[in-house]
Structure 1
Amino acid sequence: MITKIPEATAPAPAPAHRAPEPPRPAGRRRAWDEAPRWQIYLPLSVYLVFTLVPFYWILLFALRPPGSTSLVPWPMTFEHFEKVWTERAFGTYFQNSVLVGVATLVTTTLVALAGGYALARFDFRLKRGFMLALLCSQFVPGALLLVPLFQIFAELRMINSLGSVVIAETVFQLPLSMILISGFIRNVPYSLEEAAWVDGCNRFSAFRVVVLPLLRPGLVAVGSFAFVHSWNHFLFALMFLSDQDRQTIPVGLNTLMSSDSVDLGALAAGGIIAAVPVVIVFAFIQKWLITGFSAGAVKG
């Protein structure tokens, strides 16, 4: 006996020739592509003007002759650069800034690497409290450290020494550098170190062979910020260095301004001398810097 399936239980036929609905993201992309070009380029042009006009103004004062009011640096002169480099001892300031920046970069990176590894790989009591203290220390302005650091350096007879500025810069930048390095180390799988231990490496050898090469972008990011901050910092150099042959570029720029007059041409030339090394450094490390930010933002 054959039983007939009721019509109510039979599946309904699919509608014929039904066009699929276009996805919404594609519609948004088409609307963006169809937008007038001026809505894109006008805000970018305004931003570009506000960004480049100050740089052009500095170049104008640095390259045009003294007493000129032209808006075009022509005839071009390098008299202001010769003046600040020879008469204003900017060659000495530049050398001192390079020494302080490189020394701060090395000390900050090495100490932050050791401390960051300890924070990332070891568990100890009050670890969270220690991390919280490192974070809270970033809310303390550098001006509050001037008096206690000055007293310490005076007892150690380190006043008017570039070493005092290097130590102060390292202490000021170390908390944030340790936190950043510890984040980079956490992104490196712990199983890689364990595999190196099985192969016969000790902890230091495993860190040097396995972990350290993977931290190169993070080290470049931390070291570049340490260098730039120490290069541009004014307070520590002004407080701890008194002799002219020990001062750095920010203090040297301050000497170009007096209470009754300001040499705008020399000040602009000194600002360009101070900015060029930083621009060159970031131009060479841009790829490593972006990679370092990406590695620190992704959890491994």
Structure 2
Amino acid sequence: MLPRAEHRAGDRAPRWQIYVPLGLYLLFTLVPFYWMLLFAVRPAGSSSLLPWPITFDHFDKVWTGLGFSVFFENSLLVGGASLVTTTVIALAGGYALARFRFRGKQVFLLAMLCTQFIPGAMMLIPLFEIFRSLQLINSLWSLVIAETVFQLPLSLILISGFIRNIPTELEEAAWVDGCGRLQAFRIVVLPLLRPALVAVGSFAFVHSWNNFLFALMFLNSQDKYTVPVGLSYTLGEYSTDFGALAAGGVIAAVPVVIVFAFIQRWLVQGFSAGAVKG
């Protein structure tokens, strides 16, 4: 019988079996980003495969000429508002699902899961009629409401699963010390929910930032457009300004990359913890 150390060494896969697939995956993933960055900083008409000489004319064109500064601000407002509303409502609903017993709870969870199979395109006409009756057409609040509604089912399930993993004895100890339920939740449970809140909030922000269909349907004036709709204006009927399109794509990708660079640790922890129990 082999020693334990030798047995483990024999089971270890060769390095090339790890690095070759990872290298191919990175190549497949990063080449489109490099191509986009190349077109964004390469002078118009150039066919060089290297970004030299570097020009920022395309960024200046989309930021000031095409109004991307306004689109960017609108996307930030919609993303931030969707993040806050989705997180707050999912936090309250997730706590109720995890800690309380009530009639129809399983049916409610099943209904929440079933909504994830409904494409957003099927809801465009009903949502348009609702927002028109509420006079919310061409308002950024229509996007915030629609995004919150579509993000809530998954967010509720994630947060409720995370709260179930927090022992109820922690809250009971706070109750014994004189805290009410709300105070115990704020002092004991809420600090432990940071990974779940980061996961839910980041998912809501990124989805609302990238959503094109709702913004195209519910907004009809240029000063209310978001970044995805603004990108479509770089596509002409007979020609396409690839430099402006690539520069707009870089601008649209920067906030998402920054968000995930800072929250990736909490994001993975939140998704994995929320999926342990149902």
Give CA deviations for 1:47-74 in whole Å, capped at 9, x if unaligned: 2221211111111111110111111111
| Partner in structure 2 of residue 93 of structure 1 | 71
- The alpha carbon displacement at 1:195 in A equals 1.2
2-structure distance, mates of 1:112, 1:256: 37
Whether 1:198 aligns to 2:176 is yes
| Partner in structure 2 of residue 80 of structure 1 | 58
Sequence identity (%): 71
CA contact (8 A) 2:128 2:218 kept: yes
| Partner in structure 1 of residue 138 of structure 2 | 160
- Higher-RCO chain (CA-CA 8 Å, sequence separation at least 6): 2
2:7 to 9, 12, 27: 27
| Partner in structure 2 of residue 12 of structure 1 | none
1:248 to 206, 216, 226: 226
CA contact (8 A) 2:74 2:225 kept: yes
2-structure distance, mates of 1:204, 1:107: 19
Q: TM-score, normalised by structure 1?
A: 0.89
CA contact (8 A) 2:139 2:219 kept: yes
2:28 to 30, 40, 50: 50
Decide which moves more: 283-292 or 184-193. Answer: 283-292
Read off the aligned partner of 1:141 and give its amino acid letter: P
Q: Equivalences for 1:135-174 in 2 at 5 Å?
A: 135-174=113-152
Instruction: State the structure with more CA Rg.
Output: 1
The 1:128–1:240 alpha-carbon spacing in structure 2 relative to 1, beyond 3 Å, is same
- Helix, strand or coil at the partner of 1:256: coil
Whether 1:222 aligns to 2:200 is yes
The 1:153–1:48 alpha-carbon spacing in structure 2 relative to 1, beyond 3 Å, is same
2-structure distance, mates of 1:208, 1:28: 46
2-structure distance, mates of 1:38, 1:152: 57
2-structure distance, mates of 1:25, 1:233: 52
1:273 to 244, 251, 263: 251
1-structure distance, mates of 2:62, 2:221: 18
RMSD over aligned CA atoms reads 1.7
| Partner in structure 1 of residue 87 of structure 2 | 109
2-structure distance, mates of 1:251, 1:179: 31
Read off the aligned partner of 1:236 and give its amino acid letter: F
2-structure distance, mates of 1:203, 1:26: 55
- The alpha carbon displacement at 1:80 in A equals 0.3
Read off the aligned partner of 2:150 and give its amino acid letter: F
| Partner in structure 2 of residue 285 of structure 1 | 263
- The alpha carbon displacement at 1:295 in A equals 2.6
Task: Extract unaligned runs of 5+ from structure 1.
Answer: 1-20
- The alpha carbon displacement at 1:291 in A equals 2.5
